[in-house]
């Protein structure tokens, strides 16, 4: 096990019906099923193209309740797309963290522990889909950006996590990251 540290720069929730975009809040509550009120809340979720070993729509354990991106990787994506910055809201991220290189490459099973004892389990790379590209293109009013997100975000779009220990995550929280 190797332990290192990162900082929670922002905490966000996707609580607008039909919209994956998140908004900043001072803190989020996390339960075993995720963040109450967030679009990814739930113990079970219908399988989609990411879980191709199951028939589409089959109810399976939800291991994608919380998505995390890093300041460092967002800077790299922005640079690759030729834009100034990427806002975590546009990616539907729940946590924006800083102080960690290669967040997206953390192995499955890595633990993220917060000051009040809240614990998340890394479930692996959040593989980029086309929606954030469309959101970025709309936000910057440049249609050509829509297709630039996926190729520039591979292995940089952060991770998805499930919840191991329930609690509260606050903006500013230090994170202890424990690699298996």
Min CB(128)–a second copy separation in Å: 18
CB-nearer residue toward a second copy: 80 or 124: 124
Q: Nearest approach, Cβ of 123 to a second copy (angstroms)? A: 8
Residues 42-71 that bind a second copy (CB under 8 A): 43-44, 53-55, 58-61, 63
Q: Minimum Å distance from CB 113 to a second copy? A: 6
Q: At closest approach, how far in Å is the CB of 178 from a second copy?
A: 6
CB-based contacts of 121, cutoff 8 Å, min separation 6: 109, 110, 111, 112, 161, 162, 163, 164
* Separation between Cα atoms, residue 158 and residue 11, nearest integer Å: 15
Q: What DSSP letter does each residue of 103-154 carry, written as one string?
A: GGGPPTT-EEE-TTS-EEEEEEE----SHHHHHHHHHHT-GGGGGGHHHHHT
CA atoms within 13 A on the CB side of 114: 26
Residue from 5, 82, 105, 108 in contact with a second copy (CB under 8 A) = 108
- Contact call for residue 6 and a second copy (CB under 8 A): no
Residue 146's contacts (CB-CB under 8 Å, 6 or more residues apart) are 130, 133, 134, 136, 137
Sequence-ordered list of residues with C-beta below 8 angstroms from that of 55, at least 6 positions apart, any chain: 47
Among 102, 107, 151, 172, binds a second copy (CB under 8 A): 107
Pick the closer one to a second copy by CB: 80 or 119.
119
Size of the site for a second copy (CB under 8 A): 29
Residues that bind a second copy (CB under 8 A): 32, 43-44, 53-55, 58-61, 63, 107-109, 111, 113, 117, 119, 121, 123-124, 162-166, 176, 178, 180
């Amino acid at each position: 096990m190797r332990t290192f540290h990162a900082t929670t720069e922002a905490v966000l929730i996707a609580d607008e019906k039909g919209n994956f975009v998140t908004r900043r809040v001072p803190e989020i509550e996390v339960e075993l099923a995720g963040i109450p009120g967030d679009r990814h809340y739930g113990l079970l979720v219908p399988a989609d193209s990411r879980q191709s070993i199951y028939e589409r729509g089959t109810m399976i354990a939800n291991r994608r309740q919380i998505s995390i991106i890093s300041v460092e990787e967002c800077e790299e994506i922005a640079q690759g797309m030729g834009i100034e910055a990427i806002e975590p809201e546009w990616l539907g991220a729940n946590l924006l963290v800083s102080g960690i290189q290669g967040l997206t490459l953390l192995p499955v099973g890595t633990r993220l522990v917060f000051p009040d004892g809240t614990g998340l389990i890394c479930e692996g790379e959040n593989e980029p889909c086309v929606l954030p590209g469309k959101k970025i293109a709309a936000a910057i009013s440049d249609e050509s950006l829509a297709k630039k997100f996926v190729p520039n975000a591979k292995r940089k779009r952060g991770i998805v996590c499930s919840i191991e220990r329930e609690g509260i995550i606050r903006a500013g929280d230090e994170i202890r990251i424990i690699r298996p």
